[in-house]
Structures are given as C-alpha cells and as structure tokens.
Amino acid sequence: MADLKEAILDAKYVDLIALGDFIARDCALPVIDGSGNALPQASELAAAMFRWAAGADPQAGAQAETFMAPASDGTVPFFSETSTSGGNS
C-alpha cells in the first residue's frame, strides 16, 4: 500500500486527472451537465486520491453532505450549486 501512495504522490497532476476521468466514466458518473458543460468529477477524484495518499483525514473539514440528483429531464445542478430538489436553478 505504501508503494501505491508513493506512486500517487509522485504522479503528475494531469495523470491523476486522466485516472479520475477514467474512473468517472467507468462508474457511469455524469461527466457533463444538461447544457454540455463539464462536471468536476475527474478533478474531484484526483484531489481525493492525492489527499488519501498524503494521509489526510477524510473527516477534517468535512462539510454537510449535499444531495444532487438528476432532474426529471436528466439535467443535474452545476457543481457550484447545492440542491436537494434535484432541479437546476
């Protein structure tokens, strides 16, 4: 496990973004919103992998979880918005 963490810490950021993009697509996470704008899944996953490798506490600075469900038309809220209704604002 230490080798994996060291490799992640030594990796280039663009490589972590590419890995995050692969994970997002492989897990069928939405990568664009209803307007065709890119969603931040790849960068969020890359940042989480780096924090894990660096030994960050996942609960430190954690915010209340927000639920962002797709609306009935399949669109999702922009990542900077918080929504519990699942619709776009």
Three-class secondary structure of residue 14 per DSSP: helix
Instruction: Say which amino acid occupies 16.
Output: L
Percent of the chain, pLDDT > 70?
A: 66
Question: Which of 7-11, 66-70, 80-84 shows the lowest mean pLDDT across its residues?
Answer: 80-84
How high does pLDDT run on average in the chain?
Answer: 76
CA atoms of 47 and 7, how far apart (whole Å): 14
pTM beyond 0.85: no
CA atoms of 5 and 11, how far apart (whole Å): 10
Provide the pLDDT confidence category of residue 38 given band limits of 50, 70 and 90: confident
Q: Are 46 and 16 in contact (CB under 8 A)?
A: yes
Tokens for 79?
């990542």
